[in-house]
Structure formats: C-alpha cells, structure tokens
Structure 1
Amino acid sequence: MIHHVWGLFTHPDQEWQEIRGEEESISHMYLTHVLILAAIPAISAYIGTSQVGWSIGDRAPVMLTESSAMQLTFMSYLAMLAGVAVMGAFINWMSRTYDASPSMAQCVVFAAYTATPLFVGGLAALYPNIWLAMFVGTAAICYTVYLLYVGIPTFMSIPQDEGFLFSSSVLAVGLVMLVSMMALSVIVWGHGVGPVYTS
C-alpha cells in the first residue's frame, strides 16, 4: 500500500499501470488502505478541534467538547468510507459507456487511490487555521483531479479523449456527492447532532 501511495506522488503514470496489473479484493483494499488513510483526516480533525482549537483574531481558541468532536469524527469517517465505495460503484457503472471492463473491486481500488491526496491532506486539520486549510485543501483537490485525469485512460485502457470525458463525469459526480454530504450535515445538525463548544 505505502509504495503505491508514494508512487502516485512521484510517478503516477507508471504507478497506475502497476496498480492496474494487481488483483485486489474490496475487503483487502479497505483493510490495507482505506480504513487507514481515511483515519488521517478524522483523527487529525478530532485532535485539532478538541485539543488545539481555532482562533479568530486575538480571541481565545474555540474548541469542541471531546464527546462532540468524537461524534463528528466518527460520522465523517463513515462518510469517507462510504464515499469511496459509492465512487467506485459509479466508476464501474460508467465504464460500460466507454467499453472498459474493470471489475467492481478494481473500480473501488481506483477510487481509493485517487482519493489518497485528500486523505493525506487531512493532516492539516491538526492545526485548525483557515489559511492553512485553504492552501492544503486546494493543493489536495488539485492533485486528486490530476490523478483522476491521468489515471482513467491508463487504468481503464481507453483512449485519452474518452478518458477525458470519463474523468469529467467522475469529477462531476464527486462534486454532487460533496454538496449532498454538506446538505446532509446541515440536516443532521438541525436534529441535535451539531458541534458542541467548550465554555
């Protein structure tokens, strides 16, 4: 797992070919990659919001109670795990349009590795700061999109022009999922599961 993560940051073209050549089950992918990497932003956010806090101007740091931070961390962790599976299922469904024939497991593997920069970028949550979050978040999103556009043609063994359309479709679905998750968060917060701040 780790050598693939490193390879995606140093030589993504070659790494996608290696990943494509491996046979990996969904359960093995989750156990060795997704469960571990998705924990990075979740744990970082828990520490950052409950132990460090964020400051607005010269005011004292604002922090969440540990129970509230734990609850929100658990929910966001489950959302990330589900997000990888949903994106994998969509990629598998969309692949039929482009005459590609990856298995469901391969599509989940692709979705998981594509999301790697987002997971690693979650380390920025250890120190809650709006400018740091914007900088790291933007860089992680940009590299995730780059991995998507570079990876689809290689991983699906389709021409570059079809790969561009395929990647654009996947990106659009990813954005819709993000907006849906934000809307769901607002609904859940409205039913009493929102953040609770320390006094």
Structure 2
Amino acid sequence: MEQLIARIRGMALSPAQEWQTIAREPIELVPVFTRYVMPLAAIPAIAGFLLLAMVGLFFTGLSSMIVGYILSVVGVFVMAKIVEILAPKFGGPQDADAALKLAVFSPTVAWVAGAAIIIPILGGIVALVGGLYALYTLYLGVPIVMRVPQEKALTFTLAVIGVAIVVNIAVRLLTGVFI
C-alpha cells in the first residue's frame, strides 16, 4: 500500500522524476494490473455508482460501474498495444514493457481525481482537470519511458490520444455502451 501511495504522489507532484524511476523498474503484467490498475480504476467507477445510487438510479449506477470499470482496465492494455505499435513510427523502440509502463501509470491522476465525481458539478470539473493532467503526464513520459525523441514527443502523444479515442468510440459503438 505504501508503494501505491508513493507512486500516486510521485505521478501527481513530480511526474518527470517519477517517470525516471518507472523507466528503470522492471514490470510484470499480472502484478501491475492486480496491484495498481485494478484498484485505481475502481475509484471513479465506485464514485460514479455512489452518485447515481444517491439520486435513485441504483441499477443504472451498478451497470455503469461494472461496464466502466471493465472498459477502463481493458483500455490500459489496449493503450499499451497502441503505444507499442506507434513508437517505432516516431523514432522510439517497439518495447512492450515500456509501452505497458506508459499506459499503466499515465492515467494515475485521472483515476484518483475520479473520486471527486461523487460531488455534483464540482466533482466533474475536478475529474476533468485530473484527466487533462494525466494527458500531460503521458506527454512527459513519452521521451523518458518510450525513448521517443523529445522533438517528436508531442506528435507521438497526440497520435496515441487520437488512436485511443477512435478505438474507444469503436468499442462503445460495437457494445452499445455510452456512459
């Protein structure tokens, strides 16, 4: 638990330094998902459920929580594959471990800020700011973790975000889930 809190603090307060640490660490798929992604991805899902349950939409909230949580966890894996595939086109290596690190740790602040959505209106703003900050941390991590040249980091980040948006829309269209 202490490691989880330290990583959250690092990604929130000094992401460039935290990316340096992350780049040097080994990573394993199952442990990072069970100890990091799954607990943090649950935060906005549970907060959204509680908000909807408080306004009398228990079953809507429950289904939104389950689907949102699953999509969030699967989205990290999909994002890692997108990063891995795109990196060589921008001068970085095709490195599955580095791509996984970027996909796992960049949404940290967004997940934690997602707890605020339990507060109507203000919470949505806090969650939005957390999401935007997560995109900034993604950008910071690109040259450090993926070793994409700094001059191509912004273009690479925008390409990853663009592809991720298209994939997200396609998944939601295919599943009929818009939450």
TM-score, normalised via structure 2 length? 0.88
Q: Is residue 37–residue 119 contact of structure 1 (8 Å, CA) maintained in 2?
A: yes
Partner of 2:98: 106
Q: Secondary structure at the match of 1:38?
A: helix
CA distance in 1, matches of 2:174, 2:113: 23
Match status 1:5 vs 2:8: yes
The 5 Å alignment of 1:34-73 reads 34-50=37-53, 52-53=54-55, 63-65=56-58, 67-73=59-65
Residue 97 (str. 1) matches residue 89 (str. 2): yes
Distance in 2 separating the partners of 1:113 and 1:103: 16
Residue 167 of structure 1 corresponds to 157
Give 5+ residue unaligned stretches, structure 2.
none
Query: Greater RCO between the two (CA within 8 Å, min separation 6)?
Result: 1
Does the Cα contact within 8 Å between 2:10 and 2:18 map onto a contact in 1?
yes
Pairwise CA distance, 1:175: 2.5
Whether the 8 Å contact between 1:16 and 1:151 is mirrored in structure 2 is: yes
Partner SS for 1:24 = coil
Task: Give the aligned residue type for 1:79.
Answer: L
Runs of 4+ in 1 over 6 A off after TM superposition: none
Contact 1:26 1:109 in 2 (8 A): no
State the Cα distance separating 1:184 from its structure 2 match: 4.8
Aligned counterparts of 2:25 and 2:94: Cα–Cα separation in 1: 12
Return the TM-score normalized by structure 1: 0.79
Change in Cα spacing, 1:68 to 1:134, as seen in structure 2 (3 Å) is closer
Are the aligned partners of 1:41 and 1:125 in contact in 2 as well (CA < 8 Å)? yes
For the 8 Å contact 1:29–1:109, the answer to whether it is kept is no
Confirm or deny: 8 A CA contact 2:11 2:109 kept in the other structure. no
Deviation at 1:102, TM superposition (A): 5.2
Runs (5+) with no aligned partner, structure 1: 54-62, 195-199
Aligned to 2:29: 26
CA contact (8 A) 2:116 2:124 kept: no
Answering whether residue 79 of structure 2 is matched by residue 79 of structure 1, we say no
Whichever residue aligns with residue 71 of structure 2, its letter is A
Shift of 1:14: 1.0
Q: Matched residue of 1:23: which SS?
A: coil
1:181 deviates by: 4.9
**Which string of whole-angstrom CA distances, capped at 9 and with x for unpartnered residues, describes residues 68-110 of structure 1?**
4222211111000111110000001111223423532331221
State the identity as a percent. 26
Within the candidate set 120, 124, 128, 2:112 is matched to 120
